[in-house]
Amino acid sequence: MAGAMRILADRGGVVFVDKPAGLPSTGRDLDDPNCVQRRLQEALGRRVWAAHQLDRGTSGVLVFVTRRSLVAPTQQALARGRKRYLALAHGRLAEPRRVIEAPLRYVRRQARPAVVPDGKYARTEVLLRQRGERASLVEARPRTGRTHQIRVHLAHVGHPIVGDALHGLGPAARLGLHCWRLRLEGEWVEAPVPADFRSLGEELGLSLAGQRSF
């Protein structure tokens, strides 16, 4: 069961939401009650449009707009902005900082995005925050916006995200990926690390309790 959605900020019709893991960003249609979009529309009493999306298993900052005309400019601003993710990755990362540059595209026979020579350019910066015996806490900074980019890149270098059954080693209580901070037009919005993410980290020997910022 997914947790509760929470509004973080509303800046002139650009609404920042704290999305729980397990809840899709958008539904199959506008009447689908099991998605963030519908719950936000009920909370605001008006229609909203998604400016970007997070995978169902990913928690954290998600952006919607209250006017359709704001979709394109907000997406352009997001492309110029910055995103910071926290990820629980299998294994002990050796380097304090690593840049992963590997081209991505959807591979039909695998039914998922993958690293392929003729894919689109993709770049992710990975910073080690904490190293345990079985897993590591990292901050991932995607410099491009490809589908499943962080998930595929970490799996590509031998450190798949915990709970990633599609690209990694099988399911867990939740996917170990959280969109922690997002900068839009020079201002940061932060979604605190959720309790289920902290619990998953603790199961892996990583102490996240009491740490608001990294």
So what's the pLDDT on residue 1? 57
Among 164, 176, 173, 175, residue whose Cα is nearest residue 130: 176
Q: Where are the domains of the chain?
A: 1-80, 82-208
Tens digit of each residue's pLDDT (9 = 90 or more) over 7-34? 999 999 999 999 999 999 998 877 788 9
So what's the pLDDT on residue 173? 83
> What's the CATH number for 1-80?
3.30.70.580
List residues bridging with 138 in a β-sheet.
87, 128
Task: Please identify every residue annotated as catalytic.
Answer: 55
Tens digit of each residue's pLDDT (9 = 90 or more) over 44-76? 999 999 999 999 999 999 999 999 999 999 999
So what's the pLDDT on residue 4? 86
pTM: 0.93
Give the phi and the psi of residue 197 in degrees, each rounded to 5: -70, -45
Tens digit of each residue's pLDDT (9 = 90 or more) over 106-117? 999 889 999 999
What topology is assigned to 82-208 in CATH? Pseudouridine synthase (3.30.2350)
